[in-house]
C-alpha cells in the first residue's frame, strides 16, 4: 500500500502540470463565485445561497476528478493482481489515502478564497468547521466517484452516471425544496444526503450570533437559522452521518471493486 501510495504521489510531484490541472480550475471558479457573492451580509438569505454554492464547488469537481480512474486503471489492476504484484486491498487503501491527501490540499486553497470573499466570521473555530466539513464532502465525492467507476465497465458509462446523484443531492438538501414540501416517495434522499447535514453544520457555524441585532436577543443570523430550521443540537448528528456515509463508501466501494475485478 505504501509503495502504491508513494508511486501515485510521485506522479503528481514529478509532473506539476497534473496538480495544477486539478487546482487551477477550482481556484478560478472560487474567485468567480466569491466575487459574485461578495460579502452578502445576513439581512437576506443570500448568505445561505453562498454557503450552498461553496458545497457545490467542493463536491462537483472532486466527483468528476476521479470518476474515470477505476475504469481506466482496471486492466492494469487485474494484470498486477494476477501476477501477484499487489493485492486489491493494497490498491484500494492507497487510492483512498491519495484521495484524502489531495482533497485536504485542494479544499484548503479553494475554501480559503471563498471564505474571505463571502465575508464569513473571522474566527478560527468557524473557519476550521467550514474546512473540515468541506474536506469531508470532497473526500466523499471522490469515494463516490470511485464507487461509480467500480459499477460500470468503461469511462464513458462512468461519466454518464454522475448527473443523477448530483441532481438528487441538490434538490433534496433542504435549500431549494424545504423538507416539508418534498415528495413523500423521495424524502428518504434527504436523510442520506451529505449536503443536507453539511449545510446545517456550516449555516450554524457561519450565522449563529452574526449580523445586526433585531431585538429579543436575536441577530439577523439567528433569524436565518430559524428560517432554514437549523438547530444547533443537530450538529453532532450531522457530523456522525457525514463520517458514516464516508466510511460506508470506503468499505462498500472496496467490496464492489472486489466483485467487479476479481
pLDDT score recorded for residue 135? 95
**Residue 106 grid cell:** 485542494
Query: How many structural domains comprise the chain?
Result: 1
Lowest-confidence region among 72-86, 117-131, 133-147? 72-86
Assigned domain for 156 exists: yes
Residue 128's CB: how many other CB atoms inside 10 A?
A: 11
Q: In this model, does residue 254 exceed pLDDT 80? A: yes
pLDDT for position 115: 94
Question: Is 205 within the bounds of a domain?
Answer: yes
Give pLDDT, residue 129.
94
- Per-residue model confidence (pLDDT) at position 195: 92
Burial of 134 (0-12, 13-18, 19+ CB in 10 A): buried
Report the chain's C-alpha Rg in angstroms: 20
- How far apart are alpha carbons 137 and 258 in whole angstroms? 25
Mean pLDDT over 78-91 rounds to 85
Domain coverage including residue 198: 45-261
Residue 20 has pLDDT above 80, yes or no: no
pLDDT tens, position by position, 33-66 = 999 999 888 888 899 999 999 999 999 888 888 7
pLDDT score, position 156 = 77
State the Cα angle at 66 between 173 and 192, rounded to 5°: 25
Percent of the chain at pLDDT above 90? 31
In order of 36, 177, 193, 197, the CA distances from 39 in angstroms are 9, 25, 28, 24
Torsional sign, CA 170, 173, 179, 182: positive
Using the predicted structure, report yes or no on whether residue 203 has a pLDDT greater than 80.
Answer: yes
Burial 215-251 (b: 16+ CB within 10 A, else e): eeeebbbbebbeebebeeeebeebbebbeebbeebbe
Is the pLDDT at 204 greater than 90? The verdict is yes
Q: What is the pLDDT of residues 109-133, one digit of tens each?
A: 999 999 999 999 999 999 999 999 9
Decide if 6 is inside a domain: no
Backbone phi, then psi, for 215, in 5-degree steps?
A: 95, 165
Cα dihedral sign, 214-175-141-55: negative
pLDDT at 138: 93
Mean pLDDT confidence for 23-27: 84
pLDDT at 248: 93
Please report whether residue 168 resides in a domain. yes
Residue 217 or residue 239, greater confidence: 239
How confident is the model at residue 213, as a pLDDT? 86
Amino acid at each position: 500500500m505504501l509503495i502504491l501510495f508513494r508511486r501515485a504521489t510521485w506522479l503528481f510531484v514529478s509532473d506539476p502540470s497534473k496538480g495544477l490541472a486539478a487546482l487551477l480550475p477550482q481556484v478560478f471558479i472560487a474567485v468567480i463565485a466569491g466575487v459574485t457573492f461578495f460579502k452578502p451580509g445576513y439581512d437576506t438569505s443570500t448568505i445561505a445561497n453562498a454557503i450552498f454554492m461553496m458545497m457545490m464547488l467542493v463536491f462537483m469537481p472532486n466527483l468528476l476528478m476521479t470518476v474515470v480512474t477505476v475504469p481506466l486503471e482496471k486492466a492494469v489492476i487485474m494484470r498486477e493482481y494476477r501476477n501477484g504484484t499487489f493485492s486489491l486491498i493494497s490498491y484500494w487503501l492507497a487510492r483512498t489515502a491519495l484521495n484524502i491527501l489531495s482533497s485536504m490540499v485542494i479544499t484548503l486553497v479553494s475554501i480559503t478564497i471563498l471564505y474571505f470573499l463571502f465575508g464569513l466570521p473571522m474566527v478560527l473555530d468557524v473557519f476550521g468547521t467550514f474546512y473540515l466539513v468541506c474536506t469531508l464532502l470532497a473526500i466523499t465525492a471522490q469515494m463516490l466517484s470511485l464507487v461509480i467507476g467500480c459499477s460500470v465497465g468503461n469511462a464513458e458509462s462512468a461519466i454518464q452516471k454522475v448527473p443523477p446523484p448530483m441532481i438528487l443531492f441538490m434538490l433534496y438538501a433542504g435549500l431549494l425544496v424545504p423538507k416539508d414540501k418534498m415528495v413523500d416517495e423521495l424524502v428518504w434522499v434527504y436523510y442520506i444526503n451529505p449536503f443536507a447535514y453539511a449545510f446545517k453544520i456550516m449555516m450554524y457555524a457561519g450565522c449563529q450570533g452574526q449580523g445586526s441585532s433585531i431585538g429579543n436577543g436575536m441577530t439577523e443570523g439567528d433569524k436565518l437559522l430559524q428560517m432554514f430550521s437549523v438547530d444547533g443540537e443537530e450538529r453532532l448528528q450531522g457530523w456522525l452521518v457525514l463520517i458514516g456515509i464516508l466510511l460506508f463508501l470506503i468499505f462498500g466501494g472496496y467490496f464492489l471493486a472486489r466483485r467487479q475485478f476479481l
